Amino acid sequence: MRMTRRQFGIAAIASLSQPLPAQEEAGVGIERVATGFRFTEGPVWSREGFLLFTDIPNNQIMKYAPGEKPTVFREDSNGAQGNAFDAQGRLYTCESHTRRVVRTDKKGAIEVLAEKWEGKRLNAPNDIAVRRDGHAYFTDPAFGAQADTRELDFYGVFHLPPKGELRVIAKPQGRPNGIVLSPNGHLLYVANSDEHNVRAYDVDHNGDTSNERVVISGVDGVPDGMRVDEQGNLYVAANRVWIYDAQGKLIGNLNIPEKPSNCAFGDSDLRTLYITARSSLYRARREVKGALQY
């Protein structure tokens, strides 16, 4: 469904066909809520009323409760990047330093879910999405120094079922990055940083994927983390947050003062889009509600 200009909030959106004045496109309606970090990523909202996000160079997972100052949720995070919660409130985290995906239960116990494929270490898990029934999907690219120590000869998109072995969904030529599920859990979206596109996969009731296709091409900037709202619109962090409808048509954008890396809907009404962007955490109120992924 295509959204109206009023739904997106005139102060923060520039449409593709009719650009807004420069002062409005420059970030009016975008609020910086915390700063002083080195490189923020991996935002995820907890039903308990707080946001988690990572500060990768500082090797920390941070916690932000609205109206309070951020605190350290986890020290020595092993290069944590992407995060997701499941229906039980357990935290899934992609650890780039240890090249694994872990799950933290409500008591703080950490379990390793994936670290090898056919006896070889993963490249550096980057981002993850978890469906309500426990099927998890993550990307495994290799950026910077990670590429020099790869054991796998491919970049991967993986499926981690609640029971059973790790499976490969795709081995793209470019590096997969952000990953997100549609509101009903039957579509999986994967951003590719090198190809500047977003692919979609159909997902059946068993969690298996099929029908790979490119749904968004020519993304301006390097596509990174993604989220969806309840209407199926896709928010892609690149050189700004680009907003596409469910058919892949560009319908708006949020211009952030710093280059964004990822985003997540939060607050009690899920109408606030939190955006991680380099040294800061930003937020923007929306009229459309975000789709909770668990």
Query: Are residue 224 and residue 110 in the same domain, yes or no?
Result: yes
Query: Are residue 118 and residue 243 in the same domain, yes or no?
Result: yes
Side chain identity, residue 156: G
- Domain for residue 65, yes or no? no
- Domain for residue 50, yes or no? no
Model pLDDT, residue 145: 79
Q: What Cα–Cα distance (Å) separates residue 274 from each residue in 152, 200, 215, 246?
A: 34, 24, 24, 21
Question: Considering its fold, how many domains does the chain have in total?
Answer: 2
Domain containing 4 equals 1-30
Model pLDDT, residue 88: 95
**26 in Cβ contact with 10 (< 8 Å):** no
Model pLDDT, residue 146: 80
pLDDT beneath 70: ranges in the chain: 1-28, 293
pLDDT digits (tens, 9 = 90+) for 265-285: 999 999 999 999 999 999 999
Of 80, 254, 248, the C-alpha closest to 238 is 254
CATH code for the domain in which residue 166 is found: 2.120.10.30
Model pLDDT, residue 5: 35
